[in-house]
Structure 1
Amino acid sequence: MSLTNASPADAAQAAKSASHVLATLSADARNEALTAIHAGLAAARDDILAANARDLELARQAAADGKLSQSLVARLDLGKKGKWEDMLKGILDVRDLDDPVGRVTLRTRLDDGLELERVTCPIGVLLIIFEARPEVIANIAALAIKSGNAAILKGGKESTESFVAISRVISAALERTQVPNDAIQLVTTRDVIPELLALDQHIDLVIPRGSNDLVRYIKNTTRIPVLGHADGLCAIYLEQSADPAMAAEVIVDSKTNYPAACNSLETLVVQEAALPTLLPAVAAALAAKGVELRCDTASKAALQHVPGLNLVDAVEADYDTEFLSLTLAVKTVASLTEAVAHINAHGSHHTDCILTASREQAEQFMAAVDSAGVYWNASTRFADGTRYGFGTEVGISTNKIHSRGPVGLEGLMIYKYKLRGSGQVAAVYGEGDGKKRFLHQRLPLE
């Protein structure tokens, strides 16, 4: 990994050249690089966490001064909730996954001696722009190297000490491997994001990791394809037949396990028939965790008799808000149809869930809700590359093409067609007299 203050154009050109080398390396060579990175980071734990602590001290002061959000501070803390251990484990998990490069996904005999293959290959050069989240550097480095992609990373100033410390370790590790150092670059020059976003001749995909404003800015500023999501506005529909204890546990986990995460619950949609039977116990369980409920008229009326609740009258904007805190909007609907309509209109197409005992209702919900992840009786917090078995992720996508949901190795691959012939020319094939016809014979993949 290069810590570079080169011009954006020079950095991108170097990454492009390195990507051509990386794409040809064997799986063993790429895996050896990940082993070296893991060992280097494990040995440098104390130094990296000390650097992260310096970032945190400045970030907490900025938050106290109103210059930084608390959710961003939470995402910055590399020592919180086993984040360091998860980061290291993710590197080995990615290393141990099957090689995604060079997999044959189609084989067709067009004619005798003329065979077509579709083969997976890297995208090329990834640009990752991120705020806070210093673990992103290790996550991206692991996924990029394993998938044969080069990556340019540009982090926010709030995590400078952390990502410089991590980058130096990764750079030293790569020096002992076949992976070119320029294949993973951390750009340290300030105010270069507009220039990077203009380099569509060298950069093939942009992956933003940060605030809604950052993602929207990038999507509106570049010609390069963007993979990501602007909001993580996740909803749960509480249907009247749901098991009460299960419902309370899933909703509490979805909201409070990590409120600053993009897969945390932001809107609870409650069937009218469930207001007196299920909502009070759910509300009490949420209140025990310090959650404020922003209720519509019907849900607030159903909770008036429940002690210890923090109830606030909801406004329409609450149903379009990613709180990233212990605040939850509550919306009452009459039916599954209304619930789906509300979620499709107000959600961000990230991850949405139904709690119900009815398979029919669940399957209808999962078919109708237009989101990257649709769940039945499971916490929205499962929307995560590690939990899906991807090792880690470069981000979560709500795009309608290429990749949706947590994006791991598979989402960083495209494909190319390889045609092996023996001198054939297209002019002799066709439907007319004297023309040869194609065989179009499907062949086994192995």
Structure 2
Amino acid sequence: MSEDTHAVNIAKAAKAAFEASQLIPSSERVQALHEIRKELEAVKDQILTANKKDLEHAQAEVDAGRMSASLLSRLDLGKGDKWDSMLQGVTDVANLPDPTGQVSYASELDDGLELYRVSCPIGVLLVIFEARPEVVVNIAALAIKSGNAAILKGGKESNETAQLLSQAIQSALSKTSIPSTYIQSIQTRAEVSALLEQDRYIDLVIPRGSNSLVRSIQNSTRIPVMGHADGLCAVYLDKAADPAKAIRVAVDSKVDYPAACNAAETLIVHENLLDTVWPEVAKALIARGVQLRCDARTLASLTARDIILNVQPSTPEDYSTEHLSLTISVLSVPSLSAAISHINSHSSHHTESIVTEDEQAASIFCRGVDSAGTFVNASTRFADGFRYGFGTEVGISTGRIHARGPVGLEGLVIYKYMLRSKGSEGHVVGEFGTGEGKKQFKHAKIDTTSAPF
């Protein structure tokens, strides 16, 4: 069977599974998530063994200079509490309210003619992501809970792990009334290319990775694309910054997980802090192994104090670079407006934070910065679906339509309009108008708690 034929069959199966699932009660979707968690727990050892193989292959790629160390760090499913967090995410999603069937608008157009706007699934999702194998489980959980079928393509560096995770999910689904083809995975780029042509069966593509990946997908398909690009996040130390908060927020934003898309890549310092707060923040970052790439003024402030370890001059390209490591670009600005201008010109519109005790400055920053997340006195690392209470996330969207920021369940539903006539003869449009004897629309609000759908 050719790659194209195989891909078409996958797309058809996904659409058929989606359509077959629409009358399945939400309680069955919740039960499916509990079955998935149980199955994952049962095959944990096999999955982690596969993950070690992926890590060994990836380390060889890093040693050969063909893979970055930051990408390698994202692959380890046994690191810290990653495995337990993945399982907890499944349970958390199961416990969230059903995002489908929610009425967001209701109006009585005429006596006995009622219009409702009701949330519903998008359809079949094609999700393409890099590195992190746990994304297979995260997306599967969100897709199932929101009533969407999904086709998943992870990076080749996590193939062994992703295959076993997908098999566990399908095994769990086979114990429910949801078709096992509701969640499918593919392995090759050729399959991706073929699926991007299947706009008849696939309703939304979600690329989660670099800007180049997102742009490549957008240029290769007629299917709508919800991009999840890189994270070029900034922390701005305002002239009214509290010194202790400045250190805590700057260090955590950079150091907590440098390879994450919500880690800070740029530190912006108000010029009034160059001789006070900035040197202390710099020393705290250097103490944690951070490399500082500084503009002329922030560099001069440090060299005057003989702070030279892990400090070097920056280049213009540094301020448009997602380092994904213990490196941060630093510059000084004369004003809040200059900081906002720099962020809007250089960031990826992911997440930015201001450290300040000035409420007006905080408000201006949050409204003026054009990013999916704007924080005050808080680490950029909080930009995460799990931390927001979404259970987990498909990714973080930096776009401006449909969904923005961490995309959880609400980002995976749209809506349909449902119109119901209770009239003895039904309703027809010809009875309405401006002429003599014509009816006028009432457009009276209806209590949404009594919706019949």
Match of residue 93 from structure 2: 94
Q: How many equivalent pairs are there?
A: 443
Match of residue 172 from structure 1: 171
Gaps of 5+ in 2: none
Deviation at 1:23, TM superposition (A): 2.5
Contact preservation (8 Å) 2:238, 2:270:
yes
Contact preservation (8 Å) 1:294, 1:330:
yes
Match of residue 339 from structure 1: 339
* SS of 1:73 mapped into structure 2: helix
Contact preservation (8 Å) 1:23, 1:149:
no
Alpha-carbon displacement from aligned partner over 1:35-70 (angstroms, at most 9, x marks no partner)? 000011012111111100000000011011011111
Match of residue 154 from structure 1: 153
* SS of 1:120 mapped into structure 2: strand
Match of residue 84 from structure 2: 85
* SS of 1:387 mapped into structure 2: helix
Deviation at 1:210, TM superposition (A): 2.3
Alignment of 1:47-446 (within 5 A): 47-189=46-188, 191-304=190-303, 305-307=305-307, 309-421=309-421, 422=423, 423-446=426-449
Distance 1:341 1:190 in 2: 39
Deviation at 1:220, TM superposition (A): 2.0
Contact preservation (8 Å) 2:108, 2:442:
yes
Contact preservation (8 Å) 1:123, 1:414:
yes
TM-score normalised by length of structure 2: 0.96
* SS of 1:420 mapped into structure 2: strand
Contact preservation (8 Å) 1:240, 1:278:
no
Distance 2:175 2:408 in 1: 26
Alpha-carbon displacement from aligned partner over 1:250-278 (angstroms, at most 9, x marks no partner)? 11000010000000000001111011111
Distance 2:203 2:291 in 1: 43
Contact preservation (8 Å) 2:351, 2:383:
yes
Alpha-carbon displacement from aligned partner over 1:339-381 (angstroms, at most 9, x marks no partner)? 0000000011100010000011000000000000000000000
Contact preservation (8 Å) 2:229, 2:397:
no
Opposite residue 442 of structure 1, the aligned amino acid is K
Distance 1:85 1:224 in 2: 35
Contact preservation (8 Å) 1:267, 1:330:
yes
Deviation at 1:106, TM superposition (A): 1.0
Deviation at 1:308, TM superposition (A): 5.6
Opposite residue 441 of structure 1, the aligned amino acid is A
Deviation at 1:307, TM superposition (A): 3.4
Deviation at 1:440, TM superposition (A): 0.4
Distance 1:413 1:179 in 2: 18
Deviation at 1:78, TM superposition (A): 0.7
Distance 2:367 2:414 in 1: 27
Distance 2:4 2:136 in 1: 17
Opposite residue 390 of structure 2, the aligned amino acid is F
Opposite residue 114 of structure 2, the aligned amino acid is E
Q: Pairwise CA RMSD of aligned residues?
A: 1.3
Opposite residue 387 of structure 1, the aligned amino acid is R
Distance 2:246 2:314 in 1: 22
Contact preservation (8 Å) 1:352, 1:373:
yes
Contact preservation (8 Å) 1:287, 1:308:
no
Contact preservation (8 Å) 1:108, 1:440:
yes
Distance 2:435 2:381 in 1: 59
Distance 1:114 1:170 in 2: 44
Contact preservation (8 Å) 1:105, 1:118:
yes
* SS of 1:225 mapped into structure 2: coil
Identity among equivalent positions (%) equals: 56
Contact preservation (8 Å) 2:156, 2:187:
no
Contact preservation (8 Å) 1:198, 1:223:
yes
* SS of 2:385 mapped into structure 1: coil
Distance 1:375 1:32 in 2: 36
Distance 1:340 1:310 in 2: 27
Gaps of 5+ in 1: none
Distance 1:162 1:415 in 2: 35
Opposite residue 424 of structure 1, the aligned amino acid is H
Opposite residue 439 of structure 2, the aligned amino acid is K
Answer with 368-377 or 182-191: which moved more. Answer: 182-191
Answer with 213-222 or 91-100: which moved more. Answer: 213-222
Contact preservation (8 Å) 2:33, 2:91:
yes
* SS of 1:439 mapped into structure 2: coil
Opposite residue 202 of structure 1, the aligned amino acid is Y
Distance 2:310 2:285 in 1: 10
Contact preservation (8 Å) 2:142, 2:409:
yes
